[in-house]
Amino acid sequence: MDLSVVEQVALLDAWIAEGGVAVLSGAGLSTDSGIPDYRGPSGSARRGSPMTYQTFTSDALARRRYWARSHLGWRTIGDARPNDGHRAVARWQSSGLLSGLITQNVDGLHQAAGAQDVVELHGNLARIVCLDCRELTSRTELTDRMDHANPDFSAVATGINPDGDVEMDDAELTGFTVVDCRSCGGVLKPDVVYFGETVPPDRVATAFDLVENARTLLVLGSSLTVMSGRRFVLRAVREGVRVAIVNRGVTRGEPYANMVIDAPLGIVLPNLASETDNRRFVNTVTVSKSK
pLDDT at 105: 95
CB 135 within 8 A of CB 183: yes
pLDDT by position in tens, the chain (length 291): 477 888 999 999 999 999 999 999 999 999 999 998 765 544 444 445 678 999 999 999 999 999 999 999 898 899 999 999 999 999 999 999 999 999 999 999 999 999 999 999 999 999 999 999 999 999 999 999 999 999 998 887 777 777 778 877 777 788 899 999 999 999 999 999 998 899 999 999 999 999 999 999 999 999 999 898 999 999 999 999 999 999 999 999 999 999 999 999 999 999 897 766 555 533 433 333 344
Q: Is there a binding annotation on residue 211?
A: no
35: CATH: 3.40.50.1220
Q: What residues make up the domain containing 262?
A: 5-290
Q: Is there a binding annotation on residue 40?
A: no
C-alpha pair distances (Å), 176 with each of 64, 130, 158, 168: 7, 20, 18, 13
d(CA 46, CA 3): 33
d(CA 265, CA 246): 7
Domain count across the chain: 1
Question: 0.95 cut: is pTM over it?
Answer: no
Q: Is there a binding annotation on residue 141?
A: no
Q: Give catalytic status of residue 122 as yes or no.
A: yes
d(CA 264, CA 140): 32
CB 89 within 8 A of CB 101: yes
pLDDT at 266: 92
Q: Which of 71, 86, 110, 122 is catalytic?
A: 122
User: Could you tell me the sign of the dihedral formed by the alpha carbons of 118, 122, 126, 132, in that order?
Assistant: positive
